[in-house]
Amino acid sequence: MSKKSKPEKLKVIELFAGVGGFRLGLEGWNGKSACSSYRLPLRSRTEGGYEVVWSNQWEP
């Protein structure tokens, strides 16, 4: 049997995401969102969910 290799980290920045949608395409990936306006992880951190490093949402 071969060992499964650990996936590399994927850093993502959401710019002009509108209602959000771009991050939905990454939900199945076991990476983390580096910058998002979403403060709560989609899955628990123990399951490899998103980790928001910096968040800023500006609305005029």
- Of 10, 4, 15, which is closest to residue 26 (Cα–Cα)? 10
The pTM of the full predicted model, rounded to 2 decimals, is 0.25
- Of 43, 25, 21, 19, which is closest to residue 10 (Cα–Cα)? 25
How confident is the model over 44-54, as pLDDT tens digits? 444 555 566 66
Yes or no: say if 53 and 34 are a contact pair by the CB < 8 Å rule: yes
pLDDT for residue 42: 47
pLDDT for residue 11: 72
Domain ranges of the chain: 8-60
Per residue of the chain (60 residues), give pLDDT as tens.
Answer: 566 666 677 676 766 666 655 666 655 555 444 454 444 454 444 455 556 666 566 666
